[in-house]
A and B are shown apart, each in its own frame.
Chain A
Amino acid sequence: MKKVLKNIFIGLVFFFLFLPIIVLVCFSFNSSELNIVFEHFTLRWYYELFSNKQLIEAFTNTILIAIISTIVSTVIGTMGAIGLHKYNFPFKNTINKLLYIPIVIPEIVLGISLLSIYTLFKLELSIYTILLSHIVFCIPFVVVSVRSAINKNVDTIEQAAYDLGASNFQTLFLITLPTLLSGIRAGALLSFTLSLDDVIISYFTSGPSSNTLPLKIYSMIKTGITPDVYALSSILLLIVFIILTFNILMQMRSIGSDAR
């Protein structure tokens, strides 16, 4: 009896969690423009979506920004985490604590402050300012997730590499980075998804001619939700789903080698 109740409860949680997403995907194939009843299956909205030049541009922008900001912030963040672990310097503890501020600070505050910095330095708002902002707010997330993968064992492993004749450079690339891979991967994934769906910071730091997909969607729903937004969201969903599956497969591979 207890078990049945438990399963019903779990089922309900998942039902309410996924119901909106399922409805969204279904309506993206609905031939009716009004999303109240499902008429019949169509791919019309997807066709319309792909013929919409503005949307395609916003989409490419978003993907490009997400990829570049992920790469840059992962490199900087990883170096930062390793540096913070390895070296002692004045104010190290303060810097360690300060890192959490961009994570906990309301995004709107970060957006406004970035905007004011750009205005102060007379930087013209464009796709590049969005990119720069994304890199800035992704770095702390990477540092924190890489740092969680660093432990005392890593020090010993590095020492073992030196002991076996590896140079500092060889140790970093052959030993340290591969050992921290799980943390680096988590940080990169976090950066990518954060950048992909960021609205607030992008809103403040985008120029009049530059647009990202979340901003575009945001402006589209101001005039009521049209089925092409459903189609767009479904595509986004698919992308995230693919990345997630890829990540899970990678994780399963490393867990697989953990099993004795």
Chain B
Amino acid sequence: MKSVIVKLENVNKRYKDKTIIRDFNLEVYEKEFLTILGPSGCGKTTILRMISGLEPVSSGKILLDGVDVTDIGASHREVNTIFQNYALFSHMSVEDNIAFGLKMKKVDKDRIKKEVEKMLDLVKLKGYNKKYPNQLSGGEQQRVAIARGLINSPKVLLLDEPLSSLDYKLKKEMQVELKRLQKRLGITFVYVTHNQEEALSMSDRILVLNKQKEEQLGSPIDIYNNPNNKFVADFIGESNIFRAKVIKVIDRYAYVEIDLGKKIRIINKSYKVGDQIYIMIRPENITVGNRLSENSLEVSVKELIYNGANIRIIALFGNKEIKINVKNSDKVALKEEITISFNTKNISSFVK
């Protein structure tokens, strides 16, 4: 049994008469990397701010390590936040920025000095003590912000889209680094982002949020391979989604009919004949040719996009565009009309 470090119970948040968060429940486990993933305006930052104490809840309870902290302000909660724009104190040196939390706690000077050095070492900024934030690059500022939060050894570190203003390469590097840091320190991270790639690569669990509601909570693999619904399937990764109608059910399998009267075999999830459902296939699970005979479609090639390691084929099935990824090394014979096929076990299905 994993121990719960943060618990939100029936949390509501209203601004004037607008409800931002309704009856929200969440358990964050100790030492895990939980990502709250959703499009902008889904309420993810509000949830983070309520955990930090910067935003009071309208009703409900927040427990931190078993203690009710609902009425405790941000300055007395043992959590720290990394803000989107870093929020470094521009008039203070790197050293003073990092030491700020300990200074507020009136820790003695010698210990602060030692701790700051330890943190600078941890975030690979040794020797940057006397520099000012505006002398640093975006990535370096980010590390200072992380060190400034971690020095207080918070029970939970909250990260609000911390990588969104970094360039692609730096973002990738920081992703790896953040994950390593989290593992090494064993601190719980709650990470908010709208970037599904970040979420998939770093998290132990992902909470997909849409329109103030939880859509799915699970491991990255689970969320990617078995989305609960159309929103998650569409939002995480790339997908080909078809409307389908169940026409036959034979114990483990169900047969569905999609556009143009094509029949597809899927794994049965206690469907009944006549059910209207959706099925989804990831572009990388589609093979060109008829090698996998379980399900196949005849399509016409519309566009080829060369991506280096992969070739993206955009094909037309009726008037529906289908995205297919094939490896460059596969050397598929590309004609105008091709047959594509996919395995039953790679098809996800959901009712809404």
Which residues 208-260 in A have Cβ within 8 Å of B in the complex? 257-260
User: B43 interface residue, CB < 8 Å from A?
Assistant: no
What residues of chain B lie closer than 8 Å to A179, measured between beta carbons?
Answer: 89-91
Complexed CA–CA distance, A210 and B132 (Å):
49
Report the bound CA distance from A260 to B131 in whole Å. 10
With a CB–CB cut-off of 8 A, which chain A residues contact B104? 164-166, 170
A56 to B46, CA, bound (A): 63
Chain B interface, number of residues (Cβ within 8 angstroms): 29
- Kindly state the separation between the CA atoms of A170 and B75 in the bound complex, as whole angstroms: 11
Contacts of A178 in B (CB 8 A): 89, 91
Looking across the interface, which residue of chain A has its beta carbon closest to that of B137? A260
Tell me the interface secondary structure of chain A in the complex.
helix
Chain-B contact segment, one of A5-13, A31-39, A155-163: A155-163
- CB neighbours of A159 from chain B (8 A): 54, 74, 81, 83, 87
Residues 8-37 (chain A) with a chain B CB within 8 angstroms: none
Task: Tell me the nearest residue of chain A to B80, going by C-beta.
Answer: A163
Q: Please state if B87 and A181 are interface contacts (CB–CB under 8 Å).
A: no
A172 to chain B, nearest CB (A): 13
A162 pairs with B74, CB closer than 8 A: yes
A163 touches B85 (CB 8 A): no
Taking a contact as CB atoms under 8 Å apart, the answer to whether B75 and A167 are in contact is yes
A153 on interface, CB distance cutoff 8 Å: yes
Tell whether, in the assembled complex, residue A257 and residue B52 are in contact, meaning their CB atoms are under 8 Å apart.
Answer: no
In the complex, are the beta carbons of A165 and B75 less than 8 A apart? yes
Quote the shortest CB–CB distance from B45 to chain A (angstroms).
12
A residues near B100, Cβ cutoff 8 Å: 161, 164, 166
A175 CB–B CB distance under 8 Å: yes
Of residues 87 through 122 on chain B, the ones whose CB sits less than 8 Å from some CB of chain A are 87-91, 100-101, 104-105
* Interchain nearest-CB distance for B145 vs A (Å): 8
A259 neighbours in B (Cβ, 8 Å) = 135
A80 to B54, CA, bound (A): 24
Contacts of B83 in A (CB 8 A): 156, 159-160
Given A178-B91, A257-B132, A164 and B152 contact (CB-CB distance below 8 Å): yes
Cα separation A70 to B87 with both chains bound (whole Å): 31
Known: A159-B87, A164-B148, A166-B100. 6 other contacts (CB 8 A): A157-B90, A161-B100, A165-B75, A165-B152, A257-B132, A260-B134
| B contacts, CB < 8 Å to A | 52-54, 73-76, 79-81, 83, 85, 87-91, 100-101, 104-105, 132, 134-137, 148-149, 152
Q: Which 7 A/B pairs are nearest by Cβ-Cβ distance?
A: A160-B87, A165-B104, A164-B101, A178-B91, A156-B87, A162-B74, A257-B132
A-B contact pairs, 13 of them (CB 8 A): A156-B87, A159-B54, A160-B81, A163-B54, A163-B81, A164-B75, A164-B100, A165-B105, A178-B89, A178-B91, A179-B90, A257-B135, A259-B135
